[in-house]
Structure 1
Amino acid sequence: MYRVLVADSISDKGLRALEEHPQFLIDKIPQIDPEELKNIINQYDVLIIRSRITVTEELLENTQRLRLIARAGVGVDNIDVAAATRKGIIVVNSPGANTIAAAEHTFAMMLALARKIPQAYSSMQVNRWERSKFQGVELFDKTIGIIGMGKIGIEVAKRAKAFQMTVLGYDPFLTEDRAKNLGIKKATLDEIAFHSDFITIHTPLTKETNSLIDRSYLEKVKRGVRIINCARGGIVNEEALLEGLESGIVAGAALDVFVQEPPGPELKHPNLIVTPHLGASTKEAQEKVAKEISQEVIDILEYDSIRNAINMPDISLENQQTMKPYLQLSEQIAQIAIQFFKEAPEKIEVFYHGEIADNDTEVLSRTMIKGILSYHLSDTVNLVNAHHLLKENGLSFAVQRNASKIGFTNYIELKLSNRQRSVSIGGTLLDGIGSRIVKINEYQIDVRPEQNLLYIKHHDIPGVIGRVGSVIGDHQINIGTMQVGRSEIGGEAIMVLTLDKAADDGVLAALKETAAIKDVKLLGLSTGYSFFNKPSWVKV
């Protein structure tokens, strides 16, 4: 029998499946304090929490029995996942249960903005009757731009169409075919700015989305736009938003999430509506969360079936040891490829050559998918959900195997493509030397993948290499190695440099001033492979 501790306020109805299961004994202590939890945690196989409890390394230090930590919610910020992983404890969450609640709250905020309901209510509370002051706008025949077409974005789009709005959708993984199937128009971020009467955000907070709606973006928007953020604090630059409200460029805004929660007193404006992070706060959502977590606990402990694990890949220990030398190389190949490609590819192809082609390379394929998707999705993707997110975003994935060695005992190549272009990166392991990137598109090269790589495409003429060295030296950056690849003498060529520290925008701008240099990219790579933790190259 498994003992389960519910250490937070969780829906009784949602926990019914666990309570009625003969193999589970449930203790509910929703107000347990951290010290008491530390004293009794070793009596339990499963810990179920929400956001009140913080699971620290210290809490887990002396537990030998705990097998599973289940977070009844989306985020796991209050769980030390690395510490749990080191202890062999599975961490799971319930990522899909709040979809409808978040979509409906978004629409509630949009309607409140359109009809100035909170302002009118406040006026009535002080016995004023100001009908003309609170004239609103209709949603009918307006254009809504949805930034982020995941589950919540799709549900918002469905509701917007019911109001007969024109729906523009942006997502790095949204294809034309998928947009057509959803009955919306695929758009760029700029197109959403130019054409939208309402803009709503439904993306994770990543390096790419941090301050996505900033001063420069608000300079592009349609005057009188209304902005809603029920996703993550920080995606909308709050200072820029207040300036936009003050100038009238932004007619109104509604925020459910903030950089700092609760927000400071300065985040106020007559046309700004705020709610205290209520997106998932419905009775139904909390029941769904509890039901989802209950079923996940049963499936893991009774049937060895895992759907929403944060830190548990589906891979045997034996195969993990075989593939271990190639794990970091695979992730770095993917990181280089997606930094070249930038946008989401429509097609991902992996090629295995040589002895490695005869092995189960699933963990390597998952690692590359994780490396690609994490560029846009950050730590929401791991080895467990990599294929699920790939399918959810409508991306094509294929693996090809060839026993031929093509010059290397083992060789891995990753190709990303869409209808306009493609990028290919190849790598291998050299005995006694280690990982090497040996192909970038059509160029053969020999580069040790390190944390800071500088890629330069140039004309193969005298003086270019010297100019590059001078510019980097002038900026007090030391060059570790420089490798050059070319297809023909005097034609186009590439060079890849390893740097002791990252080059800033000034270095890149100075290099681009050289006429012979056609492209410059700074590539950041993770240098320590981890199955589960957020890769160091993706930073908010």
Structure 2
Amino acid sequence: MKIVISDYKSSLNFDINYAISYLRDTLGTNTEIIVYEYNGNNKEFIDILNDADALITGYLEIDKEIIQSLNHLKIISIMATGFNFIDIQQASRSHIGVAVNQEYCTQEVSEHVMSLLLALNRKLKHYTNDVDAKGIFDYGTTNNLIRLDGSTLGIFGLGKIGRSVAKKAQSFGIKVIAYDPFISEEVANECNVELLPIDDVLSESDNISINMLLTNENVGFFNMEKFKKMSKRPYIINVSRGALINEDDLVDALDKELIKGAGLDVLVSESPNLDNHPLVNRDNVIITPHSAFYSETSILECQRIACDNVINYVNGNYDKMFRLINPEILK
């Protein structure tokens, strides 16, 4: 049995020994495990995977060309909840299972949303820059702060994380509205959230939290057309996937003051060049390095679940997997 754990350098910035030990304890000490830091060389990457049974990754793009080159691979296990980087159709055609982590960081991500929401609305970046960089100790250097109690938060994507965000926001006295065509009124009512059409959520929200899964259909969902409908000039918070926002339009919306600012845990690129990036060095934009999921607990859970998906798949225990994206390959 050969298992490859591979990702970008920044995404492998944690102790992988837990996963290695977990796999060998379960599958046997003779299990070959290779940790490979992806450097952009697809030929080298394919050579590493050539005789592998399983690939564990978080954010690598596994496209049609790569998948077609892997005749031995049985499963791709993703150390994340999203799977937009994988060509699922080609994986299915090649009879390769694709599994994701269904649940491991809901609390961390929803806490991150609230951290960004609070920091933006209280303009903490502006004030800390004043104090640290300018030696200014004066609350009057900015304005337009609102009281969150009684404000409205619009959530796009009322899944587990969206509902966790709603619960936390409501504890601050914030009214929560949402758009999610896949959630029933019954589920929304249970968490005291009003489901509304897209345009109503855009126009009524003081803050917007993006918690949608990225699909081929919603790439660039938040574009200039939608920014222009945000009549209350909200803060935009994205902890989902960067490609849900058209970044050029976001920069334009910030420059034209169509929105107050943004809290971004993700950008379109997972390895962005931050030199002269148009979203960097803005008082009203907070960027974190896709860290919303991160805690000591979630890192261990992320590894464990990804490993369990591999273990259960190769042992034929499909019903014990957390989520197999393409179960049709089992038929």
1:228-262 deviation line (CA, Å, top 9, x unaligned): 12222243344444444344442222222334552
Aligned-partner residue type, residue 177 of structure 1 = E
What are the equivalent positions in structure 2 for 1:419-438 lying under 5 Å apart? none
- Alpha-carbon contact 2:27-2:311 (below 8 Å) kept: no
**Distance between the aligned counterparts of 2:90 and 2:222, measured in 1?**
35
* Contact preservation (8 Å) 1:5, 1:29: yes
2:59 corresponds to 1:46: no
Q: 2:136 aligns with which of 128, 131, 140?
A: 128
* Alignment partners' CA distance in 2, 1:84 and 1:174: 28
Deviation at 1:81, TM superposition (A): 4.5
State whether residues 161 and 167 of structure 1, in contact with CA within 8 Å, keep that contact through their aligned partners in structure 2.
Answer: yes
Q: CA offset at residue 32 of structure 1?
A: 5.4
Shift of 1:290: 0.9
Q: Which residue of 2 aligns with 1:107?
A: 114
Counterpart for residue 123 of structure 2: 116
Task: Tell me the CA shift for residue 164 of structure 1.
Answer: 1.8
Alignment of 1:246-265 (within 5 A): 246-260=255-269, 262=272, 265=277
Distance 2:161 2:60 in 1: 25
CA drift at 1:149: 0.7
Q: Are the counterparts in 1 of residues 125 and 283 from structure 2 also a CA contact under 8 Å?
A: no
- What residue is the counterpart of 1:279 in the other structure? 292
2:195 to 176, 182, 186: 186
Within 5 Å, which residues of 2 pair with 1:506-525? Answer: none
Spell out, residue by residue over 1:463-507, the C-alpha distance to the aligned partner (whole angstroms, 9 max, x if none).
xxxxxxxxxxxxxxxxxxxxxxxxxxxxxxxxxxxxxxxxxxxxx
Output the CA distance in 2 between the equivalents of 1:60 and 1:24.
30
Q: In the aligned structure 2, how far is the partner of 1:233 from the partner of 1:23?
A: 39
> Unmatched 5+ residue regions in structure 2?
none
Q: Does 1:171 align with 2:180?
A: yes
Which of these residues, 201, 204, 208, is aligned with residue 199 of structure 1? 208
* Distance of 2:186 and 2:315 partners within structure 1: 40
**Displacement of 1:147:** 1.3
- SS of the counterpart of 2:17? coil
Contact 1:148 1:171 in 2 (8 A): yes
Show the 5 A alignment for 1:303-314.
303-306=316-319, 307=321, 308-313=323-328
Give % identity.
27
Contact 1:101-1:282 within 8 A present in 2 as well: yes
Alignment of 1:131-150 (within 5 A): 131-134=139-142, 136-150=145-159
CA drift at 1:113: 0.3
Partner of 2:25: 20
Separation of aligned partners in 2, 1:86 and 1:101:
35
Contact (CA 8 Å) 1:152, 1:202: kept in 2 or not? yes
Q: 1:267 aligns with which of 279, 299, 305?
A: 279
RMSD: 3.2
1:89 maps to which residue? Answer: 96
Deviations 1:161-188 (A, max 9, x none): 1212111121112332221111222222
Q: Which residue of 2 aligns with 1:415?
A: none
Quick one: distance in 1 between partners of 2:195 and 2:155?
Answer: 10
Check if 1:29 corresponds to 2:34: yes
Contact 2:242/2:269, CA 8 A, preserved across alignment: yes
Q: Which residue of 1 aligns with 2:4?
A: 5
Instruction: Indicate the structure with greater helix content.
Output: 2
Helix, strand or coil at the partner of 2:222 = coil
How far did 1:101 drift?
2.8
Residues 166-175 or 277-286, more deviating: 277-286
Give the conservation status (yes or no) of the 8 Å contact 1:11–1:287.
no
Amino acid at match of 2:23: L
For residues 235 and 36 of structure 1, the distance between their equivalents in structure 2, rounded to whole angstroms, comes to 31
2:304 is matched by which residue type in structure 1?
K
Match of 2:227 in 1: 218
User: What residue in structure 2 maps to residue 162 of structure 1?
Assistant: 171
Larger strand fraction of residues: 1
Unaligned runs of 5+ in 1: 317-540
Alignment of 1:398-437 (within 5 A): none
**Do the aligned residues in 2 keep the contact of 1:15 with 1:290 (CA within 8 Å)?**
no
State how far apart, in whole Å, the 2-side matches of 1:294 and 1:82 are: 23
| TM-aligned CA distance change 1:79 to 1:163, over 3 Å | same
In 2: Cα distance, 1:55 partner to 1:213 partner: 25
